[in-house]
Structure formats: C-alpha cells, structure tokens
C-alpha cells in the first residue's frame, strides 16, 4: 500500500510538471525534480578535493582515530547510515561524504569516472581531515562502499588501520555477477515496474541530464525492497538523491573492462571484519566466506535480524560488533 501511494503521488507530480505549470516549473530547473547538489546550494556542507566538490560532514573530536564511512551505490548517499555517527561519542572522528557524482555531491560527465579516480578521492578525503601522520584511519564500507574499501586496501595495503566490510556486492567481476544474479532480478509486470514505465511516458533523460535521470532512478529504488526481495530489505530507507550517471558509468566499466579488487589483498595483514545479514538470502555465510578468503586475517559475523540494509534498519545489532572491532585495534 505504501508503494502504491508513493507512486501515485510521483505520477501526479510528473503530470503536474508537464500540464499544470509548464512555464513556472521547468523540469530542467534546479531543485524542481531533485534536491540541489553542493555546487548549486552553498548552504550544504561540502569540501573541495581532487577537482570536485563533495557533500561531507564530520562528527567527533578531530584528534581521535578517524573512521571514514563509505556508502553504497554506486550513486547512493550516506543519509541512511547517519546512525554511525554514534561512534563519535565513543572515541572516533567519524567522516561521511557522498562520493563523486553521488548523493548531493557535484555531478560530472559520464565519461570522466574511473575506479582509480574514486580511490584518489578517498585518499584526498583522508588527507583533508587527517591531523597527524600518527592518526589511525579506519574504513567502514557498506555494499558498493565495502567494495571500494577493499579496492583501497588492495591498492594501498599499508595505509589503513582496520576495515569493516558490510556485505560487499562482489570483490571481483565474477563474484559481483554471482551476487547480482540472485539479488535484484526485476519482475517485469510488477506494480513498481508498471509505475516506472508509466513515468517514462512523461520524462525521458539523455546522458548527463542529471536532474531527470536522478529523479527517474530514485523512483526505481522501490525494486530493492519489493515484497519477496532476496536481500531481506523490509522497506525504503532514506536518501537525498541518487547519482544515476556515475552508476551507469561504473556499470559500463564493470561490463566492458571488468575489475578485480582481490589481486593484492594477501598483503593486508590486519584483521578485517566481515558482516552479513541473517535475512539476506543472496549473501549469507557461504558468500561471505568466498570474499573473506582473499584476506589473510578475517572475522565473519552474522548480524541478527538484519538484511542488506543492516545499518539503517538494525544499527543496534551492528553497532556493538563494529565498536568492539575498532576498540581492539585502537
């Protein structure tokens, strides 16, 4: 029922844009379809690094060990993970940022993205906030963010003091395909699909028409929590805005070039914490074991009463696991 009400409202808004106030509400106008990004709204907290502007916030004492949270996607944002800031009251300097082209961060052309570029962004984020060379740096990644965290320590195995990986989608192309095969199949005649295709009659977006593309993809996110989904997601989680172009760019990179974030993980000697949700039928212990096997030292822990979106829906069950891991390495 909630999904039906949501989509009825979305369709009504779409019709309103095209019929009711065509002159007053240009769909290309900033803020009409989706929230503005940091380069469009100076009131949004942001940082300038590596040739881009990122939506970013920090919590806690800047001199404490740093915990950088890496959100999912590609293209999502950190809004649903804000409970992680609780760790700022427990001795950690917590850094959130929307990755390049994601959330409320600045948009770029599709052909400008690369894996190395977003790794370089993470390096610059760390440099921006780090107070001393002795300050420990921890990475906490969820889904795509966990893939990115693994990619980072694969590339730079001596720079990070600890890593928490919450259900990375796949640390190489083969594992990503295996995970995607059973996690996000779309039922073509479902109500959500019908509503999305209905909106397509009114809104069509070309490459790099970011407002239109982000609006449409935001609607499609209902697929992830549709009834019977394999990932154990009970409903919608909050987000500011989806970065569709960066998602399409990395999808193309994966399909055309492939990727492998495991080639050098044997050099990362520090214990890694792997988390997987009890209710995620697509992931489970067996998949966690496949991914953890690339690390010399990994602890695999099931998060009880949790699906893939464990941080938003079950932070209380994630929190103690993360805190105990961090404190052991602090």
User: Is residue 310 a contact partner of residue 317, using CB atoms and an 8 Å limit?
Assistant: yes
pLDDT-based confidence at residue 212 (cuts at 50, 70, 90): confident
Question: In this predicted structure, what is the pLDDT of residue 228?
Answer: 83
Reference 183, options 309, 34, 273; nearest CA is 309
> b/e for 258-282, b at 16 or more Cβ within 10 A?
ebebbeebeebebebbbbbbbbbeb
Question: In this predicted structure, what is the pLDDT of residue 6?
Answer: 38
Handedness of CA 105, 110, 111, 114 (dihedral sign): positive
> Phi/psi at 177 (nearest 5 deg)?
-65, -40
173 vs 207, residue with greater confidence: 173
In the chain, what are the helix, strand and coil shares in percent, each to the nearest 5?
45, 15, 40
The residues, ordered by sequence, that sit 6+ positions from 210 with a Cβ below 8 Å of its Cβ are: 107, 243, 244, 245
Q: What is the CA radius of gyration of the chain?
A: 20
Burial of 162 (0-12, 13-18, 19+ CB in 10 A): buried
Q: Which residue has the tokens 């984020």?
A: 125
Q: How much is the average pLDDT of 42-60?
A: 98
226 vs 60, residue with greater confidence: 60
User: Is residue 92 a contact partner of residue 66, using CB atoms and an 8 Å limit?
Assistant: yes
Nearest-angstrom CA–CA distance, 216 and 203: 8
> DSSP for 182-217?
HH----TTSHHHHHHHHHHTT----TT-HHHHHHHH
pLDDT-based confidence at residue 190 (cuts at 50, 70, 90): very low
Question: In this predicted structure, what is the pLDDT of residue 45?
Answer: 98
pLDDT-based confidence at residue 28 (cuts at 50, 70, 90): low
Q: How much is the average pLDDT of 57-79?
A: 97
User: Is residue 233 a contact partner of residue 308, using CB atoms and an 8 Å limit?
Assistant: yes
pLDDT-based confidence at residue 246 (cuts at 50, 70, 90): very high
227 vs 91, residue with greater confidence: 91
Question: In this predicted structure, what is the pLDDT of residue 27?
Answer: 62
Token pair for residue 224? 């992830």
Q: How much is the average pLDDT of 19-31?
A: 57
Nearest-angstrom CA–CA distance, 13 and 4: 14
* Residues β-bridged to residue 96: 57, 69
209 vs 295, residue with greater confidence: 295
- Stated as kind and residue range, the H or E segment containing 14 is helix 2-15
* Residues β-bridged to residue 166: 142, 275
Nearest-angstrom CA–CA distance, 132 and 146: 25
Token pair for residue 213? 């593309």
Q: How much is the average pLDDT of 86-110?
A: 98
Nearest-angstrom CA–CA distance, 106 and 46: 10
Residue pLDDT, tens place only, 99-155: 999 999 999 999 999 999 999 999 999 999 999 999 999 999 999 999 999 999 999
Nearest-angstrom CA–CA distance, 211 and 41: 14
Nearest-angstrom CA–CA distance, 121 and 119: 5
> Phi/psi at 129 (nearest 5 deg)?
-100, -20
């Amino acid at each position: 029922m909630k999904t039906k009400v949501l989509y009825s409202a979305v369709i009504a808004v779409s019709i309103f844009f095209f019929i009711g106030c065509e002159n007053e509400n240009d769909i290309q106008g900033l803020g009409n379809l989706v929230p503005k990004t940091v380069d469009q709204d100076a009131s949004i907290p942001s940082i300038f690094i590596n040739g881009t502007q990122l939506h970013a916030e920090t919590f806690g004492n800047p001199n404490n060990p740093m915990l950088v949270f890496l959100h999912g996607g590609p293209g999502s944002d950190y809004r649903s993970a804000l409970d992680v800031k609780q760790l700022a009251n427990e001795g950690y300097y917590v850094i959130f940022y929307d990755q390049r082209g994601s959330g409320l961060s600045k948009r770029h052309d599709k052909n400008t993205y690369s894996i190395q570029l977003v790794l370089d962004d993470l390096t610059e984020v760390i440099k921006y906030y780090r107070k001393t060379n002795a300050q420990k740096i921890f990475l906490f990644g969820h889904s795509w963010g966990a893939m990115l965290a693994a990619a980072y320590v694969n590339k730079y195995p001596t720079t990070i003091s600890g890593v928490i990986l919450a259900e990375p989608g796949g640390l190489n192309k083969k594992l990503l395909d295996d995970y995607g095969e059973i996690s996000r199949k779309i039922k073509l005649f479902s109500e959500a699909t019908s509503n999305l295709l209905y909106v397509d009659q009114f809104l069509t977006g070309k490459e790099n028409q970011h407002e239109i593309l982000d609006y449409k993809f935001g609607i499609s996110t209902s697929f992830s929590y549709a009834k019977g989904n394999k990932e154990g997601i009970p409903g919608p989680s909050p987000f500011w805005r989806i970065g569709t172009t960066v998602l399409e760019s990395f999808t193309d990179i994966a399909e055309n070039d492939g990727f492998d974030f495991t080639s050098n993980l044997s050099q990362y000697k520090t214990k890694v914490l792997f988390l997987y949700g009890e209710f995620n039928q697509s992931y489970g212990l067996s998949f966690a074991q496949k991914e953890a096997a690339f690390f010399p030292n990994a602890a695999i822990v099931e998060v009880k009463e949790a699906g893939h979106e464990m941080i938003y829906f079950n932070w209380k069950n994630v929190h103690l696991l993360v805190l105990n891991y961090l404190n052991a390495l602090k």
